[in-house]
Structure 1
């Protein structure tokens, strides 16, 4: 197996899709699949899929294909999905509440243990089993609880400050939904999620299709 630090980020971003479709095959009761079948499901070429998986050892046999359960378990291990993770959410507004209620967290082993906000009308409420706490309790909470991932759903104006506070308290993985790219040290991994960028890309392709129809 190659050194995972040298794996292209593009490969890593394709692995969750393979994992998801293998889960669908499992639910269908299928035991075997091939790169060609995965290609039809994912939209990636069969050769691309084989190249991606070969970065981690391949997992298939010529003439047999892939054992669905085994491949899904191996991808889960590569992604770290064979472990449990504790999550906190900073910002309990619409996006924060939607994330806290996302069933996909609980199907994989992610647990939202608390949300934090400054709105007194929200403090004390629960999202599933996670209590919304006062943001002023954040530092004390992190000194006691072992949290793996923090989700930022705050306004843009305070997102960087919140992120720096999280890092000072030991957080090393941040999922950022605030409309601002965070500037963090190299030892902190940040995934910036900008919903409007995805929507703008969709709008572009929608308009391209309309132009072709009108030609």
Structure 2
């Protein structure tokens, strides 16, 4: 295994363990991947993210062909779809974290984003989070639903399912997933109450400064 691949594998496993430690990946749910120059390394099917080991990751070709290691998570088409949409993504994290999953069961806040600009941090660190229509986990339809979302985005909620986040590396992807979970927690906590969101000009100021997508 090349040095770059070994390092990417080690970082991916560390990210999986951290997701579990933070309570964002119950049981054997969720899956993570990292893209190298030649392959996509991915968590295997049925393995807790807290038990990932660099030498037993699934190895995929860029087109999704399984080339080495155990069978990948059934959600590999979902990851490949997000890599295609976010050209500079080096890693993808898909979690069934409790508040993001709860928020994914709610109507989208707007046509632009499932989550409102409830804090500056969601806007600064992630940008808009569109809601992908429901399809069965692991299905090519779910991957197509993500591919067909309009406009730029780096994170999405999957209806009645959870979150999907891309980042430059595994740490960045998990940081985005944490931000989506926190924004979702606030939204769910405020259900039934009036609450304020950032004004359009405030959102614009942040997106222009930090280069995140919203409109």
**What is the TM-score when the length of structure 2 is the normalising length?**
0.24
Which structure has the higher relative contact order (CA within 8 Å, separation 6+)?
A: 2
Which is greater in Rg? 1
**What is the TM-score when the length of structure 1 is the normalising length?**
0.24
| Bigger fraction of residues in helix | 1
